[in-house]
Amino acid sequence: MNLYHYFDSRTGPFRSLTEVSAEEAKKLMETIKKERPNSQCAERHDKYVEYRHNCESLLRGEFAAKGGIIEINTPHYMVVEHSPWLSTWYEQSEHIKIPIEEFDTRTLSFTYGDSMPTFSPSVNDGKEYRKKLYTYEEILKVIEKYGLPQDWNDDGKFGPERYIEVHVWSDKTVNKYLSEYK
């Protein structure tokens, strides 16, 4: 299994609006909307950062309850395997591909689909993976049962799940790859 991280080459990898102050995040969102109007990120609503903070708090709590190892407050985001849809999010799209063996899987949590709609109170379709966070061992069983969302729902026709989101709660492996972009 490989984990992918998509990003705009002008910004670089593993940047997060939730690891900066709310004021700085708002300025960054305005800059993205102005300078990168054709990116998916430019379409985010004004409360996106607030919603993302709330979601991350929920993820952190769920992962801690499962005994996950949390070394950083804000996770790095990746997905399981290549997502054709995510590769179109950025005007100058690039990606980093990291074999899962390079991670301590006890620092990884997963949602079957993006965590925001997965935990959204407005998504109530009864699918068993809604409002659930998984450990590595648990997501393997979900993948065995349902496959990868990008294989059966890359266009979003069957719901919001288009990939499996990975929350990396450690800098260790990520820092190895970041050094290549400095």
Q: What mean pLDDT is predicted for residues 129-157?
A: 95
> Is the alpha carbon torsion for 90, 8, 150, 145 positive or negative?
negative
**Structure-block tokens of residue 150:** 């990008």
pLDDT in tens, 20-45: 676 776 676 676 567 666 556 545 55
What is residue 42's predicted lDDT score, i.e. its pLDDT? 46
Query: Phi/psi class of residue 29: alpha, beta or left (left: φ > 0; alpha: ψ in -120 to 50)?
Result: alpha
Distance CA 125, CA 133 (A): 17
pLDDT over 90 at 136, yes or no? yes
Distance CA 120, CA 140 (A): 23
Percent of all residues in the chain with a pLDDT value above 70, rounded to a whole number: 81
What is residue 138's predicted lDDT score, i.e. its pLDDT? 98
Q: Which of 176, 149, 141 minimizes the C-alpha distance to 165?
A: 149
Q: What are the CA-CA distances from residue 178 to residues 171, 174, 175, 182 (Å)?
A: 10, 6, 5, 7
What pTM was computed for the model? 0.83
Distance CA 141, CA 63 (A): 17
Furthest-apart CA atoms within the chain: distance in Å: 44
Three-class SS state of 11: coil
For the CA atoms of the chain, what is the radius of gyration? 16
DSSP state for residue 74 in the 8-state scheme = S
DSSP lists the bridge partners of residue 48 as: none
Residue type, 95: H
What is residue 164's predicted lDDT score, i.e. its pLDDT? 97
